[in-house]
Amino acid sequence: MTVDTAASAVVLRPARTSDVHAIKALVAPLAEKRILISKESVTYFEAIQEFLIAEVDGKIVGCGALHVMWEDLAEIRTLATDGAWRGKGVGRTLVEKLMENAQALGIRRLFCLTFEVDFFLGNGFTVMADQSVVDPAVYSELLRSADEGIAEFLDLARVKPNTLGNTRMICNL
C-alpha cells in the first residue's frame, strides 16, 4: 500500500526480522516518555508477523502491530512514528491498514491502550466505559493468557504500574 503524504510516498509493508532494530529505535523515545513500553528484542521477533512498517524513500518512519486477542477482538499495539513524521498522516495510514487487516481476519472490534486519545478518537475509537465488551465466559478464557497486552485489556492489577494514565479505547469495525 502506498499513500502520498507531504509530497513523499509512504509505503506500508509487512515487517521483516531485519526491521526489529528499527522498531526498537522508533519505540525508544516514546518509552523514555512512558508513552509506550520498551520490550526486549525477543518479544519483537516473536511478534514480527503482527507488524506493519511505514517507509518513506526506503527509510522506516513508523510501525504498528495487530495482535489478535479473541475470535472477534484484536489490539492495535506498538504504534510509533518517527518524530519528524508525526502529524503527517503516517500513524493514520498505519491504523487504517491495521483496521483493514483486522476486518480481513474477521475481527469486529479493535482495542488500544493509549495516551493519544484524540488521535484514536479521530480514527473511530471511543473510550471504554467498562470491561463489559467481552462476556464473562470470554473474560475467564482471556485470564489464562500470559500476554501482557491482554492483561492490560482486562485491567488486571498486576499491570497497573505500566498502564497508569493510559486510556482504554475500543472501535467497532
Amino acid at 98: L
Question: What 3-state class would DSSP assign to 135?
Answer: coil
Q: List C-alpha distances in Å: 120 to 38, 50, 91, 127.
A: 21, 19, 10, 9
Q: List C-alpha distances in Å: 115 to 2, 69, 169.
A: 28, 21, 10
Q: List C-alpha distances in Å: 100 to 18, 42, 172.
A: 24, 27, 12
Question: How many other β-carbons are positioned within 10 Å of the β-carbon of residue 98?
Answer: 27
pLDDT tens for the chain, 173 residues: list them.
Answer: 655 555 468 999 999 999 999 999 999 999 998 888 888 999 999 999 999 999 999 999 999 999 998 889 899 999 999 999 999 999 999 999 999 999 999 999 998 988 899 999 999 999 987 655 656 566 566 556 666 666 666 655 545 555 555 788 899 99
